[in-house]
Copies of this chain bind each other. A is one copy, B any other.
Amino acid sequence: MREMTMARGLRNRGHKLTQQRLAVIAVVHEAQEHLTPGQVFERAGRVCPGLGLTTVYRTLEVLSELGFVRRVHLEGDCHGYVATSCGHRHALICQGCNRVVEFPGEENLEPLIEWIEARTGYRIDDHLLQLSGLCPDCRAEAG
């Protein structure tokens, strides 16, 4: 999701474009890795002095509702946020540097989901798939 698109998206849905929100959007947009609310607060606070943590939480919630950022689940700090890339659903997290990339592959899951539905009788509405491992850089470093 491009930075301008996020900002325009907020406006188009009746949200105001405040300095605080622009700062949060910029931080999330620039980050290559997932950020906790605390990290977003710290970084956005550098360009927007006086920014409140409450506002960060509220902004991340709004961006998340609009689908502009994704909330990822981690073992340590449970919640991290990353900007979503268009139409992609799954997160690939590097355990070395915390970089998050997203990948498509919705369709690859379909056969599995259909098989599970047939076998269990559940109707499956949503899924969370996160892969973790080492990115090429960290693999090289690890040797």
Contact = CB atoms under 8 A, between A and B. Distances in A.
A128 B130 CA distance: 5
A130 B117 CA distance: 14
Given A78-B79, A92-B116, A115-B108, A131 B136 contact: no
Given A78-B78, A79-B78, A111-B108, A124 B116 contact: no
A112 B122 CA distance: 23
B133 A92 contact: no
Contacts of A136: 120-122
A141 interface: no
Contact of A131 (B75, B94, B124, B131): B124
Interface of A: 71, 73, 75, 78-79, 92, 94-95, 101, 103, 105, 108-109, 111-113, 115-116, 119-136, 139
